[in-house]
Structure 1
Amino acid sequence: MLIKRISRRVYAQLCRVWRFHYRAAIPKTVEVKLEKINPVAQIEPEYLSFSLDTSVLVGGYWWEGSQGVKKGLGTLRVSPIDLTAKKLNRLVKALGPSYLRVGGSEADKIHYFSRPAQQPDALVLTTEMWDHLHQFVQQNQLKLIFTFKYGLFERSQHGNWQGSEIKALLDYSTQQGYQIEVCELGNELNAYWAFHGFRAQPSGQNLALDYAAFATLVKGYFPNIKVMGPGSAYWPKLGESLKPLPNLSQQFLANLSFKLDILSWHYYPFQSTRSPVRTRTATLRALLSPKSFKDFQQYTDKLNTWRDTYQPQAELWTGETGSAQCGGQPELSDRFVSCFWWAEQLGRGAVSGHKVMIRQSLIGGDYGLISRVTLKPRPDYWVSWLWNQLMGEQVFEISSSDSRIRAYCHQTPDKSGKSKTLLLINLASLRVDINLTGFGKIQQAYALTAKKIDAKKVMINGQIVKFKKGNIALNDFPQLPLEPSLAPFSINFWLVESIE
């Protein structure tokens, strides 16, 4: 009986996959057109960046093995990460240049250097951890973004934030000659009520006052540091807040008394089954549906409008993003199918005006680019590696005649101006011919594929991707036939001649 039940389940799953593939059928030829000759945007060299969660750094509550969520955190405590591991450093160096953001839910619970009396289980960032973090940053040519503790206090004290808890960290950092490139105050402050209780929730007006005090304090130590905020969390379909709660970001920007350097927001297009609230659950179908990608542009447009109205000098950054909230979805976020939303959001983010895109996370959770347990790169790591190798800083506007072929274009990194790189994402189960308009001949082609949509291993140009003693290069892979055609379920980078 057990064998029969298992067989029926397998058969039902195969039928669902077949129906999905059948409905994904699109025309065999799709037009990809260059819409404007001149660039429409420019990204930072560190556009593709990543985060190291505070919980992973100091040994807090994290997601591996957790079946649920408690106050925004996983239910299992992990050991602090070893940032001296040679394999980890090799993997990180291959992704540079990048920012490394250290933040996350426990950034507001942490204590700096010493454990409070009567709190034996308190999270502490020790001087040794802080030293190792800066050694890691320097060794891998990273730039540090740090989320300073906002703190938990009664609203009666709000508007009078002193920052006494962060002064020890600032004093020690300047004494050691450490550099912090970008700072932010608190993590996802629009959702503080959910993590820490309604009495801890700041309003946009009070947060603006606190940020002014914070900016004055940190710039006294690091005059050239950039201030980023407010880092509000946005939910698929819902946006920044549940009604009747107001949008914190708009109120924050409208009440700031100083010039903000970076307007940041957090966005996950899906939620894992751990999440207690799910507006778009991470499923195979959802991860490959063009409809799932629409919210990102909608929220970007709103943030750009607020930025232009209140803080026009500020850059727009996605300060945190991953495939699915609450650690990612097991057996999806760490598989080939997760590559598609990531490639799509990298392309869409650049053309819509984002200067930097910070991936949650570098390591840890089901959504980590690198497995925390094995230190093996996951499929999304290889999308990131190919992007950094092939997509330059100048961004061009192009279009696709079908929504299942996502198309983006950048100058190639060599800056010669003689070629552009097309990122072409085929969300369908069929091979598709591409009719290029406004581009010359294909010079080189790289295709990221897998044997099945939920595979753990991926291939570049038909070859399984592996590091060779810590080294890897584009010329390690066989060249594809230079034909304007996309394999089913593939992510493609084409170097094409520019037409002047």
Structure 2
Amino acid sequence: MSGILILALVISILSHGYYVGASVRSARDEVNFESVNLNVDLSRVLKRVNERFLSVAIDASLVAEEKFMYLLASPKLRTLAKALSPAFLRFGGTRQDFMTFNPAFLHSNEYHKNSVFDADDLCERLELPPILEERLKQEWALHEVLLQKEDLQRKYRSVKFTEYAVDLLYSFTNCSGLDLIFGLNELLRTTGNSWDSSNARTLIQYCESKQYSMAWELGNEPNSYEKKAGIRVNGYQLGQDFIQLRRILRESKLYHDTGLYGPDISQPRDHRRDLLEGYYVNGRHTSLKDFLDPEVLNTLALKTHEVIKTVDLASPGKKVWLGETSSAYGGGAKGLSDTFVAGFMWLDKLGLGAKLGLDVVIRQVLIGSGTYHLVDDNLDPLPDYWLSVLYKRLVGPEVLSIEAFSILGKTKRVRVYLHCTNKKSTSYKSGAVTLFALNLSKSPASIAVPAMVSNSTVEAFVLQSEQPGEEGLYSKSVKLNGEVLKMVDDRTLPSLQGTPLAAGEHLRLPGYSFAFYLLSEAQALACR
């Protein structure tokens, strides 16, 4: 974890054919084939994002009953999380402001002495037995119904958690190679309406005693406290609360210069400037059409520009994060947010967010309640998970300029983004670039490789639904270059190999698909 102090504005938004290579096309397909040309600039870096740009969240609802935290000791889940490293893991959400640390053994030397969470054997000794894992998965699926009812009624129970929950969470992040951001309860207030930091102090002291390297966030969406808990905290008081937390961290030898993130703002109303209202879609009222609508996807740019402008006026130079985001707010869209079609919103958000200058985008959620998770209740990866892993492996933090055009002008249905190739997770030559593209139409598209990189070979990673046509958009399985993606076993991911294309060949992008194209010999000046 970087020692640099960052007090960022963390934006919380819950929104939001042809086989590559040789193929035979019918005359009808030729008529509907969209031809796309690219305008690119490989000479300079447009934006540079955090190397942990794509990060993930675990919703605090998992600790609503502490036993469910043991799911984080699943070897399968750790394998899946490790493939997303490097990344932040944010532990928080609505229920973080209803949970308090209730230590069972904090003052017992015996607990510290006999703890199974010592760093040397942390990952090997703490592993969930298969029988217990199966039972917890079944119980969690039932418990989610209760959590969803609470969300609908906006009535949240107070939750207490012990050292065991903290140990399990830190073990998971540490063994998965992730950087933990722990969300503290800000609804603990004094009679004067300032933050009561006593419980946070106790938790921080415990984490320091265990030498847990982590960062902190204070409160979740304070603009909605009045709605959730009948408490109103204005901007000045919120600032004072953050100053109080920074003072506490400064007193710590371990956390004196650790990261402190927030505040996160979502859908402010009336007494605050409306920054995010109307962004993306409501999970309870959206449709398949919204997930493929370029106008819906473009709302990210409008709202992000407003937020960045506000941040620049108040605190120039501060980084802006998308701190809790998926496709549809309100817990996600049932039958959509966990299916193949959700990948269009997710990949476009990653591409557009980086281009706009967002520093980090945190996906809600890796595991937890709602329907926008990356991993299902059986801990099996969903389509957005595989998309995220490929993004991590192929896409670097340097954003390059690119635009797509068809004969009718700037194309709306084919959306393209360009980055330097990830130098840390690939062995490609300096100057390699990764183009990723989305085809929102049922008709296939042909993307012409720019002349400046036409001599480069291309490695294609084309993602399509397991089933063809519009019905396949509802699928929870995804194909990479024609092969359905599945874990080899609970500790092994498939190889995720690309398909080589000849230099200068047009890139075939099937209808309703998205793809990564790695140009290893692009010799981009900006990427050397």
- Equivalent pairs counted in the alignment come to 420
Given residue 269 of structure 1, which amino acid in structure 2 is its aligned partner?
Answer: Y
Going from structure 1 to structure 2, the CA distance change for 1:459 and 1:475 (only over 3 Å counts) comes to closer
Matched, 1:289 2:299: no
Which of residues 466, 479, 489 in structure 1 aligns to 2:486? Answer: 466
Q: Pairwise mapping of residues 69-468 of structure 1 onto structure 2 (< 5 A)? A: 79-114=68-103, 122-153=158-189, 157-158=192-193, 160-181=194-215, 183-197=216-230, 200-221=231-252, 222-233=255-266, 240-242=267-269, 244-247=270-273, 269-273=280-284, 281-364=285-368, 365-371=370-376, 373-401=377-405, 402-414=411-423, 416-437=429-450, 438-440=452-454, 441-450=456-465, 451=467, 452-468=472-488
Q: Pairwise mapping of residues 18-37 of structure 1 onto structure 2 (< 5 A)? A: 28-35=34-41, 37=43
* Aligned residues of 1:268 and 1:322 also touching (Cα < 8 A): no
Consecutive aligned runs of 4 or more in structure 1 exceeding 6 Å deviation = 265-268
* Aligned residues of 1:461 and 1:479 also touching (Cα < 8 A): no
Deviation (angstroms), 1:220? 2.2
* Aligned residues of 1:36 and 1:398 also touching (Cα < 8 A): no
Deviation (angstroms), 1:327? 2.0
Given residue 356 of structure 2, which amino acid in structure 1 is its aligned partner?
Answer: S
Deviation (angstroms), 1:480? 6.3
Bigger mean CA offset, 32-41 vs 186-195: 32-41
Going from structure 1 to structure 2, the CA distance change for 1:267 and 1:458 (only over 3 Å counts) comes to farther
Deviation (angstroms), 1:454? 1.1
* Aligned residues of 1:267 and 1:320 also touching (Cα < 8 A): no
Matched, 1:38 2:44: yes
**CA deviation vs aligned residue, 1:359-380 (integer Å, no higher than 9, x gap):** 0000123111001x21100010
Identity among equivalent pairs (%): 28
Going from structure 1 to structure 2, the CA distance change for 1:53 and 1:39 (only over 3 Å counts) comes to same
Residue 82 of structure 1 aligns to a residue whose secondary structure is: helix
Which of residues 51, 56, 63 in structure 2 aligns to 1:50? Answer: 56
Given residue 342 of structure 1, which amino acid in structure 2 is its aligned partner?
Answer: W
Residue 72 of structure 2 aligns to a residue whose secondary structure is: coil
User: Equivalents in 1 of 2:42, 2:499: separation in Å?
Assistant: 33
- What do you get for the CA RMSD once the two structures are aligned? 2.5
* Aligned residues of 1:423 and 1:493 also touching (Cα < 8 A): yes
Going from structure 1 to structure 2, the CA distance change for 1:203 and 1:434 (only over 3 Å counts) comes to same
* Aligned residues of 1:34 and 1:439 also touching (Cα < 8 A): no
User: Equivalents in 2 of 1:150, 1:267: separation in Å?
Assistant: 26
Structure 2, unmatched stretches of 5+, are 1-30, 105-156, 406-410
Deviation (angstroms), 1:80? 4.2
Given residue 192 of structure 2, which amino acid in structure 1 is its aligned partner?
Answer: Q
**CA deviation vs aligned residue, 1:213-246 (integer Å, no higher than 9, x gap):** 122222322112122111111xxxxxx323x322
Deviation (angstroms), 1:439? 3.4
**CA deviation vs aligned residue, 1:3-50 (integer Å, no higher than 9, x gap):** xxxxxxxxxxxxxxxxxxxxxx97711222214620111122211110
Residue 351 of structure 1 aligns to a residue whose secondary structure is: helix
Given residue 189 of structure 1, which amino acid in structure 2 is its aligned partner?
Answer: P
* Aligned residues of 2:321 and 2:358 also touching (Cα < 8 A): yes
Residue 492 of structure 1 aligns to a residue whose secondary structure is: strand
Structure 1, unmatched stretches of 5+, are 1-24, 61-77, 116-120, 234-239, 250-264, 274-280
Match of 1:75 in 2: none
User: Equivalents in 2 of 1:299, 1:124: separation in Å?
Assistant: 36
User: Equivalents in 1 of 2:158, 2:358: separation in Å?
Assistant: 37
User: Equivalents in 1 of 2:184, 2:404: separation in Å?
Assistant: 42
User: Equivalents in 2 of 1:38, 1:266: separation in Å?
Assistant: 34
Going from structure 1 to structure 2, the CA distance change for 1:307 and 1:313 (only over 3 Å counts) comes to same
Going from structure 1 to structure 2, the CA distance change for 1:477 and 1:406 (only over 3 Å counts) comes to closer
**CA deviation vs aligned residue, 1:252-301 (integer Å, no higher than 9, x gap):** xxxxxxxxxxxxx999722211xxxxxxx331000010011122111211
Going from structure 1 to structure 2, the CA distance change for 1:477 and 1:407 (only over 3 Å counts) comes to closer
Match of 1:5 in 2: none
Residue 157 of structure 1 aligns to a residue whose secondary structure is: coil
**CA deviation vs aligned residue, 1:385-434 (integer Å, no higher than 9, x gap):** 11011101111121122011111111111274331000111111001111
* Aligned residues of 1:232 and 1:248 also touching (Cα < 8 A): no
User: Equivalents in 1 of 2:246, 2:168: separation in Å?
Assistant: 26
Deviation (angstroms), 1:483? 3.6
* Aligned residues of 1:35 and 1:399 also touching (Cα < 8 A): no
User: Equivalents in 2 of 1:410, 1:443: separation in Å?
Assistant: 15
Match of 1:8 in 2: none
Residue 168 of structure 1 aligns to a residue whose secondary structure is: helix
TM-score (norm 2): 0.75
Going from structure 1 to structure 2, the CA distance change for 1:267 and 1:83 (only over 3 Å counts) comes to farther
* Aligned residues of 1:267 and 1:322 also touching (Cα < 8 A): no
User: Equivalents in 2 of 1:186, 1:475: separation in Å?
Assistant: 38
Given residue 177 of structure 2, which amino acid in structure 1 is its aligned partner?
Answer: Q
